Amino acid sequence: MRRLTLTLLAAWPLLAFASEPSIDPETGLATWQTETQGIQVRLTQISPDQARAFYQARGFSPEAAERYARECVFMTVVRNVGGVPIQHNLANWRYVSSGQPPRAIRSKVAWEHLWKRQGVAESARIAFTWAQLPATQTFAPGDWNQGMTAYSVPHGAAFDLRFVWRAGGRFHSGILEQVKCAHEDS
């Protein structure tokens, strides 16, 4: 895995996709999308208020919902737009914000431990689990999924996201550059 990570990090500059986000005229929230080698990845900002409200409506205490809302949250879509199956594994994704080394996305298992410590009810934890982007999944051509991903980056700050997938027996990666977290008041 370390070798894979190093190899993909070395290729980082070659595969970067800096794109202008599209802005929703009603909410002002931004979407970044890229498509390469049979995969489409799309991140749409979720505002802290939306995150709080979503989880409180599903049984989270205000404190637990606030913990999640402190993260930089995106609705994330992964879609197979190619002709062969692709496998994604969130554990291989990395994000880099200013002055920080590449970091992995906190796993659903890690969140589950946190919610249990905070006394979040089982039904709320189930909702949380299924609302996140699946940790691993195989997509046949035409398949897609969406779910939340959360990054430990301050609201309003930017980061680069390296997404990794496997197709045809090989690992591939791409980058979304300068993705920005929603502002606290967005």
- Which residues form the interface with other proteins (CB under 8 A)? 22-27, 29, 31, 42, 44-47, 49-54, 56-58, 62, 65-66, 75, 77, 79, 122-123, 126-127, 130-131, 133-137, 139-147
Minimum CB distance to other proteins smaller for 5 or for 31 = 31
Minimum CB distance to other proteins smaller for 33 or for 37 = 33
166 beta partners:
87, 171
171 burial level (CB within 10 Å; 0-12, 13-18, 19+): middle
From the CB of 59, what's the least distance to other proteins, in Å?
10
Minimum CB distance to other proteins smaller for 7 or for 123 = 123
From the CB of 96, what's the least distance to other proteins, in Å?
24
From the CB of 183, what's the least distance to other proteins, in Å?
13
- Distance between CA atoms of residues 98 and 157, nearest Å: 9
From the CB of 6, what's the least distance to other proteins, in Å?
28
From the CB of 135, what's the least distance to other proteins, in Å?
8
Minimum CB distance to other proteins smaller for 42 or for 155 = 42
Minimum CB distance to other proteins smaller for 131 or for 158 = 131
